[in-house]
Each structure stands twice: as C-alpha cells, then as structure tokens.
C-alpha cells in the first residue's frame, strides 16, 4: 500500500511546457513510502495551456537494471504489484504488444490488471483508426479479446518489464529476474 500523505511535496507553477512552450506548466515532485518497494519519488508535469501531462517515478534506493518476467496464470495473478518507471519497456509477448521506454513513456504503480487495462485502452483507440485495413483491425480485435480472456481468468499470458534504470519491479515470488548490463 502507498502512504496516504506524500512527504515534502514540491510544486513549481508557471514553468515552460516542453510541448507547447507556454509558461503554464506545473511541475510536482513528492515522495511516497511503498510497502513493497520502499521510498519512491514521484514526478509529474501538467500544462494548463495544451493539456500535456506526464509522470514518472524513481526508487530512492534504485535497484539493479533487470528484466522481469511474470507468467500470469490465474485471476489471482492480476493483483500482483507492478512498478514501472518511464525508462522501462513493458511487453506482453503473448499478444506481441509493447510500450517502449521513450521519453514520453510514463511511470506508474499499479497491478497486472491495471497494466492490461492500459494496453486495452490503447488498442481500443488504435482499432478505430480509419486508415487501418480489415486485417489490421481483426488483429487488434483479437488482442482485445485475448486481454479480456486473461482478465476473466480464461487465458494465460507472459508480462515482461525491461528496465535499465533499476527503478521498476514486479513484486511477486513468481517473477523471474534476469540482471541486465548497465
């Protein structure tokens, strides 16, 4: 569980937005105590002019760069804690989908089901693109069906986090961890 009272919140307003350049961005930084991972610094930016927003996190005591692999085999596994830093790539090889670790990638604390719901929302947006052909739309519909089957406990899948920063983790005895070179 996260603590309810963030420590030492820093808010800096009227900063230049990295997207639109207007001086209407607010930067926020604070620290939480995560029961599983210890102290974590949370950073966010939100622009009142263009609506841009982003967030990231860093462990106060970063871990080792690693690749985490979790076999999701039951509905209970949907509750496993996932801590993803912005620099972390997240993959679901079962469905051949991923989110890379580009600058715009957000950090978050969630669980496996929350990760699936994030992917589901993105796939739903993509499938409505008028420029996609029938085959591409069918593939996206099949991915959505597969994600829902995992959420219902009817299908198994693999979840991977590849984090070179040491600021991500899957918190479970079931996770396989492989150290990465810095």
Tell me the pLDDT of the chain (182 aa) as tens digits.
344 455 578 889 999 998 899 999 999 998 888 777 778 888 899 999 999 988 887 878 878 899 999 999 999 999 999 999 888 999 999 999 988 766 557 888 899 999 999 999 989 988 888 888 999 999 999 999 999 999 999 999 999 999 988 889 999 999 999 999 76
Please tell me the predicted confidence (pLDDT) of residue 104.
Answer: 59
Domains of the chain: 7-59 (2.20.25), 66-179 (2.60.120.1040)
Please tell me the predicted confidence (pLDDT) of residue 67.
Answer: 96
pTM: 0.77
Tell me how far CA of residue 107 lies from CA of 40, 58, 87, 170, in angstroms.
11, 9, 8, 13
């Amino acid at each position: 569980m996260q603590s309810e009272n963030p420590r030492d919140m820093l808010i800096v307003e009227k900063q230049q937005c990295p997207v639109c350049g207007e001086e209407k961005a607010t930067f926020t930084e604070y620290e939480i105590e995560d029961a599983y991972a210890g102290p974590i610094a949370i950073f966010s930016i939100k622009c009142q002019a263009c609506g841009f927003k982003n967030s990231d996190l860093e462990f106060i005591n970063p871990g080792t760069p690693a690749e985490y692999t979790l076999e999701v085999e039951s509905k209970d596994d949907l509750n496993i804690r996932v801590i993803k830093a912005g620099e972390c790539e997240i993959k679901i090889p079962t469905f051949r989908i991923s989110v890379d670790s580009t600058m715009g990638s957000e950090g978050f604390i969630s669980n496996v089901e929350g990760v699936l719901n994030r992917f589901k929302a993105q796939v739903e947006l993509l499938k409505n693109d008028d420029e996609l052909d029938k085959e591409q739309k069918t593939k996206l519909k099949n991915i959505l069906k597969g994600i829902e089957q995992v959420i219902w406990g009817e299908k198994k899948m693999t979840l991977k986090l590849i984090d070179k920063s040491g600021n991500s983790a899957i918190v479970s005895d079931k996770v396989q961890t492989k150290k990465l070179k810095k």
